[in-house]
Amino acid sequence: METTPPQADAGIPRLELENLTVGFRKKPVLSGISLGVRPGELLVLAGPNGSGKTTLLKTIGGILSPLAGRVLLDGRDTALMGKREKAGQISLLFQGTSPGWPFTVQELIAQGRFPYRGIFGAEHPGDQKAVAQAITAAGLLGFEDRPVTELSGGEFQRVLIARAMAQEAKLLLLDEPANTLDPKYQLMVMTLLRSITGTGAGALVSLHDLNLARLYADRIILIGNGTIAALGPPPEVLRKEIIGRVFDLPPDTPFTW
Ligand code: ADP
């Protein structure tokens, strides 16, 4: 008898937000957020400072609870998933998350594999391979034994992305991964992200640099005034009237995106 390969993912978004409201102590920061991130899609989150990008990413990642609405991962409500299961499927990368401890590069990347380990912390058969592949892809060969506290910002950012790669998560949530990096590292980080989404993961990435967004995003979600201001492919969203309105730019601002 012929067997059909499993098609669990067919048509189901990696991430789906259903009428989500996010905020603090019942004070909404963003409301009416509905969108889907498809497998393999890189969705860039853009918007002015303080518009709610970090709050949204933290809510999707389970660090904050939604004030209303639902977050679905592969069709399943994340509120009903255990902490460990969520940690295995969602990779979070926030700014300034340097560990105070001088782990080596190899050790920090290997932490991406923790969700796969049994209750006694035994190695999973794929662990070493996943870590080695991530080190190579992130251009970190030769850095394995360096303490992460002694790396430059760009090197450390690549270590964090390599950890996300080793984790083989289905969804990546990254807050300003390209911030403070020089152009070479910015491009490297974005290329790495594209190679991770190439394996079928979805990524929601906040970026301030609209040129990077134009180059690397499949779609851009622009937030402003407490909700979605625009959502679509870069040429649809990066339009003078939209960007000018959302970022409150003077009319004579040269439009460079
Ligand atoms: P962005 O990432 O777009 O710069 P944030 O999500 O950090 O914006 O912030 C959105 C809003 O939520 C801002 O008005 C900010 O002051 C507020 N905010 C952020 N963190 C907290 C907090 N812990 N408690 C209350 N309000 C907060």
Please tell me the predicted confidence (pLDDT) of residue 77.
95
C-beta of 49 in contact with ligand 1 (< 6 A): yes
Q: Are 55 and 86 in contact (CB under 8 A)?
A: no
- Report which ligand 1 atom has the smallest distance to the Cα of 55: 6
The CB of 59 under 6 Å from ligand 1? The reply is: no
> Which amino acid residue places its CA nearest to atom 1 of ligand 1?
50
CA distance 12 to 67: 24
How many helices (H) and strands (E) the chain has is answered by 9, 10
* Helix-helix angle 153-167:127-137, to 10 degrees: 140
| Ligand 1 midpoint to CA 225 (Å) | 13
Ligand 1 atom at minimum distance from 49 CA? 4
Strand partners, 35: 17
Q: What is the mean pLDDT of each run of 10 residues along the chain (257 residues)?
A: 44 93 94 96 97 97 95 94 86 75 91 71 76 91 94 86 89 90 88 92 96 97 97 97 95 88
pLDDT value for 154: 81
CA-56 nearest atom, ligand 1: 6
CA-CA distance, 239 to 245, in Å (whole number)?
Answer: 10
Q: With a 6 A CB cut-off, is 52 part of the ligand 1 pocket? A: yes
Q: Which atom of ligand 1 is nearest to 175's Cα? A: 2
Structure-block tokens of residue 229: 């201001």
Query: End-to-end distance of the chain based on CA atoms, in angstroms?
Result: 55
Nearest to 71 by CA among 27, 236, 81: 81
Cα 50 to averaged position of ligand 1 atoms, centre (Å): 6
| Residue bearing the CA closest to ligand 1, atom 24 | 24
Q: What pLDDT, on the 0 to 100 scale, is given for residue 85?
A: 85
pLDDT value at residue 200: 93
Q: Are 224 and 48 in contact (CB under 8 A)?
A: yes
Atom number, ligand 1, closest to the C-alpha of residue 223: 3
A 10 A CB-CB count for 20 gives 21
Element (H, E) at 186: helix 183-197
Per residue in 150-186, pLDDT tens?
Answer: 988 888 888 988 998 898 889 999 999 888 788 888 8
Tokens of 10: 């067919």
pLDDT given at position 25: 87
Alpha-carbon distance of 175 to 177, in angstroms, equals 6
Of all protein residues, whose CA lies closest to atom 25 belonging to ligand 1? 24
Rounded distance, CA 108 to CA 183, Å?
Answer: 25
pLDDT for position 127: 82
Neighbours of 141 (CB within 10 A): 10
Helical H segments across 1-120, by residue range: 53-60, 83-89, 105-110
* Residue labelled with tokens 């939604």: 66
Per-residue confidence (pLDDT) for residue 142, from 0 to 100: 96
Name the amino acid, one letter, at 58. Answer: K
Three-state SS letters, 164-184: HHHHCCCEEEEECCCCCCCHH
